[in-house]
Structure 1
Amino acid sequence: MLKAYLGLVVAAVPFLASAEQVGEVSTVFKWLGPNDKVVVEAFDDPKVEGVTCYLSRAKTGGVKGGMGLAEDRAEASLACRQVGPIRFVSELKEGEEVFKERTSLVFKTMQVVRFFDKKRNTLVYLVYSDRVIEGSPQNAVTAIPIMPWQ
């Protein structure tokens, strides 16, 4: 019974990309716990082969940050690039979430969503942060024209 329930829960969770850390820089020295930093992460679009996105964002350090209790800032930068032939693995949905990461203990997340601009044959990716009560208008966008790979 428990196995069947867990299978349903896993099936209900959308397939999202997982990020791989590319690098980081320290921005604020902390005497206790890790320093505040900016991290650069890479993730591949799970439904579009040949596309990799690079996300840079702030990570709060200190004692709370080291224990996973601090709330990270909403600012982020996003650059997605064609890194091979583009192939759609399955049907795309407008505004589909391709990456999501918790940026506070419970209420805040940073996410990347994808749109397809049919008129210009371009994939558009948007990063933003939301919170249960109040999100942030800070965001970043990047676009990839779909072109033959050479």
Structure 2
Amino acid sequence: MIARLLALSLLIPAATAAEEIGKIGVDWIGNDIVIEAIRDPKVGGVTCHLAYFDRSMLDRLSQGNWFEDPSNSAIECARTGPIDLSGIRRGKGGEDVFREGRSLVFKSLRVKRIYDEENRVLIYLAHANELTDGSAKMAISTVPLLDEDRDPLPPE
């Protein structure tokens, strides 16, 4: 069963690629905070910066948990060009923008996009997704839309 889940998790691609733009050492054993730029693949003109904790090999050895990183993350998104909403999925459940494994099989760090049509705001939520236990660790960022941003579809 675990082998099938592992194989399945390797076959599911991330929603988009992230570009590492910074790495800050936080202690003497090699733990780092990594900062990645994530461009929304369906909404050109929005870039999110995601920061998360990356455990070192020494920390993994001393803690005894080889295959898991913490779920903590921070996110900030900004308008970086013209915005086109014609390709996004609408609805309260949102849509995955980015997904990265945080353990061997059971945990991932995700960024979801939700469009608040009434207030004309894109909401980006970074959160952990776990197979067995949910996590309350999350971070949120918003990108307000301007009048010139195209929104060709009527609200659902």
The TM-score range, normalised by the shorter chain, is 0.7 to 0.9
- Measure the CA separation in 1 of the matches of 2:82 and 2:106: 38
CA gap 1:74/1:82 in 2 versus in 1, 3 angstroms: same
Aligned to 1:5: none
Equivalent of residue 73 in structure 1, options 45, 48, 70:
70
Normalising by the residue count of structure 2, what TM-score does the alignment of the two structures yield?
0.77
Q: What residue in structure 2 maps to residue 84 of structure 1?
A: 81
Please report the RMSD computed on the Cα atoms of aligned residues, expressed in angstroms.
2.3
Tell me, yes or no, if structure 1 residue 37 matches structure 2 residue 32.
yes
Which residue identity lines up with residue 22 of structure 1 in the other structure? I
Indicate the residue corresponding to 1:26 in structure 2. 25
Q: What is the identity, as a one-letter code, of the residue corresponding to 2:103?
A: S
Q: Which residue does 2:57 correspond to in 1? A: 62
- 2:39 aligned partner, one-letter code: D
TM-score by length of 1: 0.80
Aligned partner of residue 127 in structure 1, secondary structure:
strand
- The correspondence of residues 1-150 of structure 1 with structure 2, limited to 5 A, is 16-30=15-29, 35-63=30-58, 69-88=66-85, 90-94=87-91, 95-147=94-146, 148=148
Q: 2:76 is matched by which residue type in structure 1?
A: A
Contact 2:14 2:98 in 1 (8 A): no
Are the equivalent residues in 1 in contact too, given 2:14–2:100 (CA < 8 A)? no
| Contact 2:127 2:139 (C-alpha < 8 Å) held by counterparts | yes
User: Does structure 1 retain, via aligned residues, the 8 Å contact 2:21–2:37?
Assistant: yes
State the Cα deviation string for residues 2-56 of structure 1 (Å, max 9, x = none): xxxxxxx9xx9677111000101111222xxxx1100000010010000000000
Which runs of 5 or more residues in structure 1 are unaligned?
1-8
